Amino acid sequence: MTEHQIVTGDTLGVWFSDNLVGHLKRKSENIVDIAFSYSDEWLTHPGAFPISLTMPMSAREYGPETVYPWFMNLLPEGRALQIVGNVLKVAEIDVFAMIEEMGGDLPGALAIRRHADPVASYGHPPGVRRLTEAELADCIRLLPERPVLVGSEGVSMSMAGAQDKLPVIRMKGGQLALPLYGMPSTHILKPRNKKFRDSVPNEAYCMMLAKAVGLQVAPVSIGHAEDIDYLLVRRYDRVIDGGTIRRIHQEDLCQATGFPPYLKYEWNQEIQKHGPSLADCMGAIGRAPGGAMNRIRFFEAMLFNILTGNVDAHLKNYSLLIKSGGQIEFAPIYDVMNGDIYPGVTRNLAMKVADKQRGGHLHGRHWERFADENGLSPTHIKNRVAAISKSVLEKAPIVAEDMANTFGDAGVYQEIFKYVCDYCRRMLSNLKTTPDAEDTQTIAALPRLAPARPKKGKAADDLDVDAALKRINAAEEEAHKRRDEAKPEDDTPSSSRCPGEP
């Protein structure tokens, strides 16, 4: 492959199916200087949608300050991006050139290619390559050197994120296949993360728990190729429609708030820069169509992340679906994993809530403050915190038992659900402390509830949580305190983040 030339005026077509949505253009020889404009046909298309909350439908041209970070957010991050650059012989910061090579299948509905004809630009119609188990295992083994198999014949796709992953198509009967020449993928395969033991059952458990408590979540399953475990996540931005795979558009909250991927945490210690805060996200979501409902769903997803110890819930781990006509829907939950079971992973949240960095430090008054700051009802918020905490507490042991029965590995699920139950009990306890009591007294800690199924017919709210809350267990509180002391509240999220930040 030859080195990419930077040619002023170079233009890529941005497509939704066979509709030309707009043009991505190099404005000068400065790599960052790229612009986006909607096509006339898209501006008058009855089913049109804006590609981002930051780029409403308009005949104007959007400049690099908006366009460069938005498109950069479609690419892998960190070390994976460096490797992609080496393979493609493209500067890591040359977003235009990366997208040109990898734009065949992207997060969301867009496909980006050099020329006007969406098929001819590959010289080949979209297709698939079915993989035997041995071929799949080979592809997975190749990922650390070839993120998303970049540079392989017919492969043009991209996925955000720092970890190894592979967009695939799950064929009828369950066989996996590689999407080629712009074919849409249907699933994301995430192999075991070598830095974090049991990452696959951990993430699967958290996702299944979200489903059990009634939150919208991307469906997952666990698979194996030879000796490799992987998580298979169904893409919520794809639907199968009469045998055809249709794309639905999405953007993550980094994109929706106009920030580059390296500012996905509220604070980046290495470059001493702030990313968006919770209030910034709530504001952006609230100003968009469907804002009231979407803000509640965002809050519930964030709360669930706190209750499951997913400290890595940064802004690229929340997304918005952008529907035809511009209606916005908060996307299902994805990428939830308990980081607390791993030593050396920070316990600080990716985004502070009411100025608190730790989920375990959130009390009733903090949720009130969070509600006030974001124009939400404090009573409603506290009721939801209680209801979701109780529901997670009820379901955590059941899901652990079900998963152990289905997948084996009972010890992993036991370990995680105990953490999760601890967080929930602590949240419920903290919810009840008044500001004065909280300032002057040790927080009442809670006895462990037996990890057994509740009696048949008992609803989540019927669980005898309140009675349990009254019994103070000083030993458990001590244990919490020791864990907090062992892992000091720090301001260095990017160096010790879970999972897999470079």
Ligand X SMILES: Nc1ncnc2c1ncn2[C@@H]1O[C@H](COP(=O)(O)OP(=O)(O)OP(=O)(O)O)[C@@H](O)[C@H]1O
Give me the residues that bind ligand X (CB under 6 A), please.
Answer: 77, 107, 159-163, 165, 188, 218, 233, 235-237, 252, 312, 316-317, 319, 334-335, 499-500
Is 199 a binder of Mg ion (CB under 5 A)? no
Is 500 a binder of Mg ion (CB under 5 A)? no
CB of 56 to ligand X, least distance (A): 21
CB of 430 to Mg ion, least distance (A): 28
User: What is the SS3 assignment for 180-191?
Assistant: ECCCCCCEEEEE
CB of 54 to ligand X, least distance (A): 16
Nearer to Mg ion, 252 or 422 (CB): 252
Residue 34 is given by DSSP the state E
Angle at 318 between CA 493 and CA 277, to 5 degrees: 55
CB of 158 to ligand X, least distance (A): 10
233 binds, among Mg ion, ligand X, none (CB under 5 to 8 A by kind): ligand X
User: Residues 76, 85, 161, 290: which binds Mg ion (CB under 5 A)?
Assistant: 161
Is 280 a binder of Mg ion (CB under 5 A)? no
162 binds, among ligand X, Mg ion, none (CB under 5 to 8 A by kind): ligand X
- The answer to whether the CB of 62 falls within 8 A of the CB of 55 is yes
CB of 362 to ligand X, least distance (A): 22
Nearer to Mg ion, 317 or 374 (CB): 317
Nearer to ligand X, 76 or 397 (CB): 76
Nearest Cα to Cα of residue 338 among 480, 225, 207: 207
Choices 85-93, 333-341, 443-451, 467-475; region in contact with Mg ion by CB under 5 A: 333-341
Q: Which residue has the tokens 């301001």?
A: 491
Choices 125-133, 259-267, 312-320, 490-498; region in contact with Mg ion by CB under 5 A: 312-320
Tokens standing for 167? Answer: 């967009």
198 binds, among ligand X, Mg ion, none (CB under 5 to 8 A by kind): none
Nearer to ligand X, 359 or 499 (CB): 499
Residue 355 is given by DSSP the state T
Beta bridge partners of 36: 24, 62
CA separation for the pair 502, 480 (Å, rounded): 29
Q: Which contiguous run of DSSP H or E holds residue 20?
A: strand 19-26
CA separation for the pair 345, 494 (Å, rounded): 10
CB of 206 to Mg ion, least distance (A): 13
259 binds, among ligand X, Mg ion, none (CB under 5 to 8 A by kind): none
CA-based torsion, 258, 261, 265, 271: positive or negative: negative
Alpha carbon distances (Å) from 441 to 430, 433, 447? 12, 9, 18
The residue sitting closest to ligand X, measured at its beta carbon, is: 161
Nearer to ligand X, 100 or 335 (CB): 335
156 binds, among ligand X, Mg ion, none (CB under 5 to 8 A by kind): none
Nearer to ligand X, 121 or 199 (CB): 199
Nearest Cα to Cα of residue 289 among 318, 330, 259: 330
Nearer to Mg ion, 19 or 268 (CB): 268
Per-position DSSP letters for 41-69, written without gaps between them: HHHT-TT---SBTTB-S-SSEE-HHHHHH
CA separation for the pair 306, 423 (Å, rounded): 8
Say whether the peptide bond before residue 167 is cis (omega within 30 degrees of 0).
no
Residues 6+ apart with CB under 8 A from 99: 12, 24, 71, 74, 75, 112, 158
400 binds, among Mg ion, ligand X, none (CB under 5 to 8 A by kind): none
CA separation for the pair 377, 370 (Å, rounded): 10
Choices 185-193, 217-225, 317-325, 356-364; region in contact with Mg ion by CB under 5 A: 317-325
Choices 30-38, 154-162, 216-224, 448-456; region in contact with Mg ion by CB under 5 A: 154-162
CB of 220 to ligand X, least distance (A): 8
Nearer to Mg ion, 335 or 394 (CB): 335
CB of 421 to ligand X, least distance (A): 25
Nearer to Mg ion, 105 or 335 (CB): 335
The residue sitting closest to Mg ion, measured at its beta carbon, is: 335
Is 429 a binder of Mg ion (CB under 5 A)? no
User: Residues 294, 317, 429, 430: which binds Mg ion (CB under 5 A)?
Assistant: 317
Q: Which contiguous run of DSSP H or E holds residue 455?
A: none
| Three-state DSSP class for residue 442 | coil
163 binds, among Mg ion, ligand X, none (CB under 5 to 8 A by kind): ligand X
End-to-end C-alpha distance for the chain, whole angstroms = 27
Q: Dihedrals φ, ψ of 387, to 5°?
A: -65, -45
Angle between helices 78-88 and 95-102 (to 10 degrees): 80
Is 335 a binder of Mg ion (CB under 5 A)? yes
CB of 338 to Mg ion, least distance (A): 14
CB of 376 to ligand X, least distance (A): 25
Nearer to ligand X, 266 or 335 (CB): 335
Tokens standing for 201? Answer: 């059952």
Binding site for Mg ion (CB under 5 A): 161, 317, 335
